[in-house]
Amino acid sequence: MKRHRPTNELILHVIVAVLILNIAKTEVPRPRGVSLSRAGLYDPTKDFTCFDNTLTIPFAQVNDEYCDCADGSDEPGTSACPNSMFHCTNAGHQALNIFSSRVNDGICDCCDGTDEYVSKKCPNTCKERGQHAREAARLRAELVKAGKQLRNELSAEGIKMKQQKKDKLVELQKSKIEAERVMKEKEDLKKQAEELESVALEEYRKIEDEIKAKKAIEEAEMIRKEATETFEKFNSNADGLLSIPELQTRQPFDKDHNGEVSEEEARSFLDNRESINLEDFIVYAWPLMKPIMMREQGVFKPPVGVGEVEEVPLNDAREVNEEPDEEPEPPQYDDEEDDEEDEEPAEEHHEEDETDTNTKVEYDEETQKLVSEATQARSEFTDAEASVRNIQSEITRIEEYLRKDFGADEAFAALEGHCFEYTDHEYIYKLCPFDKAVQQAKSSAVDTRLGTWSKWTGPEGNPYESMLYDHGQACWNGPSRSTRVQVSCSSENKLISVAEPNRCEYLFEFSTPAACYEVEQHPDDVHDEL
Ligand code: MAN
């Protein structure tokens, strides 16, 4: 059988295959500090054009320690351009981008040591670090696997809860429309009833005002009568002036109970004067004396119907035989009457205070009916208003709940409404997720708020790794307290540790099955090559 020579086409295929295999096996040649994904932007066979297209330079000027491009793109592997980034491959571990100012600064930033290429003092530790990181990732993966079932359950519960809240919100919004309709209706009814009531009461108000005015005059006259009687009784020499010696004979004015009424004691009842005439007595002295006289008379007042009289002992012998009923009568208090007043239902009354008790006029049947109807309408309107308010506050509560971010699959929702504690030698710390962080000194029951739920603060790709609680209680001479919570995966909800790295800035570590999920990798963290 005749053997054919291989065709050109076949030879080409073989060459391409060999080339592909070789490229896959070796590193793609590229300037120092350039990542694999950007290697194509640096072609050594051509002049280099800055990424911002402002300048084209010979390729030899790339990484020549001189910054030609304003955007720093010609010096990816040196520290010559302040704004450029250096990429370390870190084969065996994670690739890393660092500011080029860190290149050759004497600090090992890249585990492959490429950032310190001048001193070459940084050994390649990527293999060990990679192993370490892979081990940590493996452990996390195990934890995640173990907690995943729990997390799925939490997530299902969270989704259900959220749906229930949403349904409830729709229901409440409907109820609110109906409650507002009822309230408006009750308000109209109240207005109508009050208009009728007001017209009906107009007549009564006039009568009551007249009675009130009459009463006031009567009371003033009564006071004047009482005062005048007392003045005349005490003014023993009937000279029209009540003087200190005349009062000194009256034992009730012995304020310090030392057995005699001193000049000062007597003067104090005479508006601090030596003597006083009737008109000034009524205005200034009687209001001071009346309570004393009432008290004394109250103590010595004979029981009603009992003839036996016990008079206030008076120093003045001339007055010992005076008839006790000459003493001014104190106004009588009638507690019973007040009690009865309190027990009556409100709508049976005019809406006036107790001082108006005696000025009330009985309403006729028709007026009383209108007053009762207006009272009823007022009460129904108040109830309807309260009902709208209650529905609204429930709506606000649910809206607040729905605004909270419990994770894409609601797995963190079940933590809401629960609190977790951690105790150290001095304090008991409490984390109530999505609500607050609290510190309580063991020696006192006083709570210090370390922050109120604010937001998730994890890095891009894993926002649910940390939480922030801020606007806590103000720190002495400092800012308000705040708390960061590092959230990690474990099979149980637990506040693992608490620290205060800076004064009034707290760091909590909290673990929960809700955090057992695979973390999305940031594009920069993905291994460029192994
Ligand atoms: C309290 C606690 C501490 C905090 C100080 C600041 O003692 O809240 O955590 O550091 O106040 O004055």
- Phi and psi at residue 438, in whole multiples of 5°? -135, 150
DSSP letter at 476 equals: T
What amino acid is encoded at 423 in this protein? T
CB 248 within 8 A of CB 390: no
**Distance from the CA of 501 to the center of ligand 1, in angstroms?**
12
Output the residue whose Cα is nearest ligand 1's atom 7: 441
Question: Can you give the pLDDT at residue 344?
Answer: 38
Output the residue whose Cα is nearest ligand 1's atom 9: 504
What amino acid is encoded at 323 in this protein? E
Residue 254 has pLDDT above 80, yes or no: yes
Give the ligand 1 atom nearest the CA of 500.
9
Give 345's pLDDT tier (boundaries 50, 70, 90).
Answer: very low
CB 370 within 8 A of CB 190: no
- Using one digit for the tens of pLDDT, what is the confidence trace for 197-222? 999 999 898 888 999 999 999 999 99
Please give the residue that has the higher pLDDT: either 403 or 295: 403
Three-state DSSP state, 49: strand
Q: Would the CB of 448 count as within 6 Å of ligand 1? A: yes
Please give the residue that has the higher pLDDT: either 12 or 114: 114
**CB burial of residue 238 (10 Å; 0-12, 13-18, 19+):** exposed
Angle at Cα 376 formed by Cα 197 and Cα 338, nearest 5°?
85
Q: Would the CB of 504 count as within 6 Å of ligand 1? A: yes
Distance CA 112, CA 110 (A): 5
**Distance from the CA of 481 to the center of ligand 1, in angstroms?**
9
Q: Would the CB of 500 count as within 6 Å of ligand 1? A: yes
Distance CA 291, CA 328 (A): 12
Give the pLDDT mean for 20-27. Answer: 45
> Around 217, how many Cα atoms within 13 Å sit in the side-chain half-sphere?
5
**Distance from the CA of 426 to the center of ligand 1, in angstroms?**
11
Give 357's pLDDT tier (boundaries 50, 70, 90).
Answer: low
Question: Can you give the pLDDT at residue 334?
Answer: 37
pTM over 0.85: no
**Distance from the CA of 504 to the center of ligand 1, in angstroms?**
6
Entry field: residues in the chain: 530
Beta-bridged to residue 465, according to DSSP, are none
- Using one digit for the tens of pLDDT, what is the confidence trace for 358-384? 667 788 999 999 999 999 999 999 999
Host H or E run for residue 454: strand 447-456
| Mean of per-residue pLDDT scores for the chain | 84
> Nearest Cα to 245, choosing from 279, 269, 278?
269
Q: Would the CB of 304 count as within 6 Å of ligand 1? A: no
Q: Would the CB of 503 count as within 6 Å of ligand 1? A: yes
Three-state DSSP state, 446: coil
Question: Can you give the pLDDT at residue 321?
Answer: 38
CB 360 within 8 A of CB 350: yes
